[in-house]
Every structure is written in C-alpha cells, then in structure tokens.
Amino acid sequence: MSEFATHIFGADPSAHVFNGRLYVYVSYDEPLTNTYDSMVCYHALSTDDMVNWIDHGRILHLSQVEWAISHMWAIDANFWKGKYYLTFCAIEKTSSTFRTGLAVSDRPEGPFTDLGPIQGAEWGQDPAFYVEDDKAYLLWGGRGAITIAELNEDLLSVKPETVTNLSKELNGYEGPFLHKRHDTYYLTYPALDNEVWPQRMSWATAKNILGPYSYGGIYIDEYPGNSGTIHGSVVEFNDQWWAFYHSGLISGTATSRTLMADKLEYLANGDIAAITPTLSGVSASNTAVVLDAAVANRTGGALHMTNATTDNSDYTGAGYLTGFVQQEYGVSWLAQIGLPRRYEVIVRYRSAKQRNARVVAAKHLFYDGNQNQDYDQYIKRGTVFEATNGAWVEYKIGELDFASGDHEIRLSNSLNLGAGEDGIEVDYLKLVPID
C-alpha cells in the first residue's frame, strides 16, 4: 500500500481500532514549509477498509492549549474508562521545555479538549498511550532516551516508582509506540546510531511491559526519499498487521511529510520482517474531508448565530446545526489542504421547504442562477437548497480548485425568514478530491 491520505502533509501517524473502525491520529505539517516550528495542530483520519479514508479535520490546535507556546509534535490516543484521550507534546510557556499534554473527547474523531500537562514525564516529547486491562501507561522520548511509566487513574500524572528508562538496553532515541502480540510486548521506535541521521524504525521485545526490552533489529532502514525522521505505529486491523509511518517521498523535503502504511509481517520466530517504502498507494480521490457542522467552532471554523442540537435522526457527527433563519446566519469550516487539487464541495442537509443560502469556499461564491441579475437578486438567490421532506441528503454545491494551505468555507442564509419559519439544517461539509 504505502502512501495514503495524500490530500494533506502529515506525520507521526498513531493508529488504533475503535468500534471496528481504524483511526489514525497525525501531526499536521504546514504545506511546503522548511521548519518543524510551524506544527501547531493535529488531525484525525479513519477508514473501515484501508482504501477509503475520511479526514475529520483539525482536532486540537495550539490556541486551545493554554499552557503551551509552540511545537505540537508527535501524538497518540486511546480509549480509557468511557472516554477517548489524546496524548500530545508541546513546548511549555513557563519552562521552555517539552511537556506531554492530555486532551479528552466523547468521540474517537474528536475534537479534543485540553486537560493540562501530565506531571512526572520529564521532557515529555513524542508520547505514546498504552492501555491494558485496568492499567494505563505513558511512554515518551526525547534527548536520546525512551521512558515508560504507569499512569495514575486520572491520567494526569505518572507513578514515580514505575518510571523506567528503556534506552539503557536499546539505541532508542524518540517516538516510541507499544503493541502486544500473543504474550510479547513489541516496542517500535526511530533509532539513531551515534546521532547519525536519518532515523530508522527499530523494534525490541519484552515479556514484562516495564522491560527489560531486548533489541530485535531494524524493520524500515534508510531508503531514498526518507524525511530524516520516521515516527510511526503498529496495529492489527481486519486480521492484518499494519505499520504506519511517514516519509518525504512526495514533497521531497523533510518538513512536508507523507503518511505511509504497509502490511507488517512477523517471521516464524516472532521477528518483524523488513519493509521497503514505495509510492504505490491508493488514489488521492479515496480520501474525503468530512467536517462536522456541530463542532465547526472547535475545529477552526465558527458558528454564526446558529446552534448545535441533536435528535433521533441519522445525523453523522456530534449533532447538527439549526437556526439558519436570518441573513448571514450560518457556519464556517476550516479546510486544510496539502498540494493544490480540485474538489467537489458537498453539504449534507435537510429542509422542510426550499431555501436559499450562500456558499463561499476559498473566497469563491457558488451561484446556480443568472449572474447577470442585479446585485440584490444575486445576493438573495445564491444556491437553492430544495425541500427534502425531512430526510438528510448530500447536495453537491459545485467544484473548485483549492490551493495549498488553510481555507474558510462558509454557508450562510440569504434571506430573513418570517417568525416561526425554519431554515435548512446542516450535518456536515464534505470535500472529495478530483484526480
């Protein structure tokens, strides 16, 4: 397979299976920059077949983390006692050192709410969050060491007596990830020998989660097109083991990285077989960006006098939006795009009556009427949303070329409605790449 979700540049993919669906949490590379300092947010991706992917958009941003000032680097996530938790790292304002943060969500795709830094994880860079039975563990790397510790019940601190430096036996450097196969713990991590780059994905095993771990070898060695760093994860999904990682194969740079996934095989003796990265993955059109309207104000957009609500109908996210009753009442979404590409712009909505709304994407106004009308009629008409008899429908607004970077997409009401009249109701925005 190799590359996937090529609509964005991303790194540090952390993969987990929740409710039968695979979720991958990734750090976000600003398109075609030359620095890691510009990394300030995370995305969640998901699939049920490893071919068709959904990008759920931005799930946490630096501006939502009060204690942090910069450098939102590698992450992990897991399910713990009824909630989904994100462990991430950033430079702390007061100390100017890396700290591991904790964020929470009711849904695996987020968005996540910051709970603060985890106490006791010194220089808490590149965290991994492992759960087994009724115990939770934090792993972290940085400054040439990989450390593990058991977390307390609230996950906001580690148990000091369990803090263990695993790099005493290994050439571990940073970016650890832990998985279990049969009765053996596998630690995967990017390794450096004597500070010689690039990193190579290595593995080690133990029978006890706190070690000691025995070095196993390298399963992704140096290769043409590497990005210097090579953080990743390992997960079993649909009876197949997968290795996730990142490369520089598409951009040709170290700082605009491509998400990668390959089948991972175990030899008869339990060793991990070598993987050779290539560009042979699925088409970019197999990844749709689906942005939940109900949480748009938490994922880089805004609610403009509209309200999130729920009922028993088949909306798809955390809820849906109502209140499109006056001119410019609406919603804005943030879409983050890697390489320039053409997209279909689709809205899932329902409405009891035909309504008119304005859709502006990447500063382009979609319009399905006669553009030679006077300005007043041009503004009022916008896009016609037909009555749906109470059913949710996907409506293709149009197609548009998106450049690299951040784009606002706004849907707003065109006319003031009368007292007691209902406007459209909106479930999500979808962008589908056109190859």
Last residue of a domain, one of 282, 298, 316: 282
Is 263 found in the same domain as 396?
Answer: no
> What CATH number is given to the structural domain containing 350?
2.60.120.260
Mean pLDDT, range 380-409, rounded to an integer: 92
Mean per-residue pLDDT over the chain, rounded: 94
pLDDT band at 415 (very low <50, low <70, confident <90, very high): confident
- Tell me: the pLDDT tens digits for 24-83? 999 999 999 999 999 999 999 999 999 999 999 999 999 999 999 999 999 999 999 999
Write the CATH number for 247: 2.115.10.20
On whether both 59 and 203 belong to a single domain, the answer is: yes
Per-residue pLDDT at 372 exceeds 60:
no
Mark whether 278 and 306 lie in a shared domain: no
Q: What is the pLDDT of residues 147-162, one digit of tens each?
A: 999 999 999 999 999 9
Output the CA torsion sign for 21, 156, 75, 194: negative
Pick the last residue of a domain from 226, 248, 282.
282
Going by pLDDT thresholds of 50, 70 and 90, the confidence category of residue 435 is confident
pTM: 0.96
| Same domain, residue pair 182 and 301 | no
Q: Are residues 213 and 299 in the same domain?
A: no
84-98: per-residue pLDDT in tens? Answer: 999 999 999 999 999
Q: Give yes or no: residues 306 and 277 share one domain.
A: no
Residues 275, 385, single domain; the answer is no
Using the predicted structure, report yes or no on whether residue 284 has a pLDDT greater than 80: no
114-139 tens-digit pLDDT? 999 999 998 999 999 999 999 999 99
Query: Residue 396: which domain range?
Result: 288-434
State residue 380's pLDDT score: 57
User: What is the predicted pLDDT for the residue at 409?
Assistant: 98
Do 57 and 87 fall within a single domain?
yes
When pLDDT is cut at 50, 70 and 90, the band that residue 238 belongs to is very high
What pLDDT score was predicted for residue 280?
Answer: 86
pLDDT of 406: 98
pLDDT at 381: 62
pLDDT at 281: 74
pLDDT reported for residue 192: 85
Q: What is the mean pLDDT of residues 225-253?
A: 97
**Are residues 260 and 343 both part of a single domain?**
no
Do 243 and 361 reside in the same domain of the chain? Answer: no
- Is residue 296 domain-shared with residue 224, that is, in the same domain? no
Query: What is the average per-residue pLDDT within 6-29?
Result: 97
pLDDT band at 275 (very low <50, low <70, confident <90, very high): very high
pLDDT at 370 over 70: no
- Asked if pLDDT for residue 319 goes beyond 70, the answer is yes
Q: Are residues 224 and 319 in the same domain?
A: no
Question: Which of 282, 313, 329 is at the close of a domain?
Answer: 282
Which tens digit of pLDDT belongs to each residue from 170-220? 877 799 999 999 999 999 999 888 778 999 999 999 999 999 999 999 999
Q: What is the pLDDT of residue 334?
A: 98
Structural domains in the chain (count): 2
